[in-house]
Amino acid sequence: MNLIIGVVVIGIIIAGIAFFMASKSDSKNTTKEELQSTAKRESQSRTQEELQNTAKRESQSRIQGESQGTTQKESQRELQSAAKKELQNISIKEEASADMQAVKQKEQLYHYMTQELQNLVCVYNKEEWSQLKKLGEISQELYKEKNDIIEGLSTITGRMVKEYFTCVDFREEEGKLVGYVNDIEKLKQVFLQFMMPFYPYYYKELSEGGLRYTALLHPNTLRLFQQLTGKKFRPGYRNRYSTGVRAFEWDKDRYKVYGKDGRLLCDAVFDSDGIKEGYGQKKYLDKQHPDWDIVEEGTWKEGVFQSGILRYKYKKSVQ
């Protein structure tokens, strides 16, 4: 009996051990499967995450590349724009420089002409015209540019300056260009175009009365000066003798000229040949003047012209 019971107990123990071992084996198998499943899930998760990261990096790379491309294009556009502006600025500066040079040359021509006219008036008033052989100097730069300046002037003023330069030969002396008269008679007629039309008839009275030559410049001459300098010049500036008497007045083409004592010398309309309408008289009756003939059309009393027309006709023809 005891033996049987012992066998049964041993059987039960063996069965328990077998069950335990089986359970343990199942547990191991289950754990292994779970581990494999977990590993697989983690692997898939990592793979998906890596794919997502890779896609994200590629997207960022594309965005960055596009951004860089856009930035490069913008930089190129900015550089092109800056280069264009720089070229425009250079062009503007060059044009401004050329304009400044042109202005400078015009002002130099103005100073040259005013100086020469002043000298010619002095020679004419002293009646030394026939002795005139040499004029003033001109800069090399102005000599080269004078024709271009003349072309830019109006028809009347451009012609005046052009005719003046045809009467002058410039020769280089000691590094300077000096003017020499090549046609004294033509130069006289050209010179008189710069002056008021009554000037050749009353230059003695006007000069002896202390009248400044600037008051005797023709309105066309003042227009020339304005074109060269941009400044406005008033006709008849300081039009008074040293005695305070007004030397002349005018209305269109009609001029009244007075002596320094207030005596009326003329009231006439002038043209290129002299008085064509009205009357005039001279303090000095130049019947012996070598260059002029007096054409008397009017009333005289004791050798003094009273009324009518007194013309002074230039004897010598000008080619």
Q: How far apart are CA 310 and CA 23, in angstroms?
A: 157
Share of the chain above pLDDT 70, in %: 63
Q: How far apart are CA 214 and CA 247, in angstroms?
A: 13
Using CA atoms, how far residue 276 sits from 220, 264, 272, 291, 317, in Å, is 20, 18, 9, 19, 19
Tens of pLDDT, residue by residue over 216-256, are 999 999 999 999 999 999 888 889 998 889 999 988 888 99
Residue 114: pLDDT over 70: yes
pLDDT on residue 76: 80
Residue 218 corresponds to which tokens in the numbers above? 């023709």
Global pTM reads 0.62
Tens of pLDDT, residue by residue over 253-262, are 889 998 888 8
Place of tokens 């026939």: 130
Contact 288, 207 (CB under 8 A): no
Share of the chain above pLDDT 90, in %: 40
pLDDT on residue 108: 94
Q: What is the mean pLDDT of residues 26-54?
A: 62
Q: What is the mean pLDDT of residues 261-271?
A: 82
- Residue 308 CB-density burial (10 A; 0-12 exposed, 13-18 middle, 19+ buried): middle
Contact 222, 235 (CB under 8 A): yes
Q: Which of 171, 170, 173, 152 is nearest to 161 (CA)?
A: 152
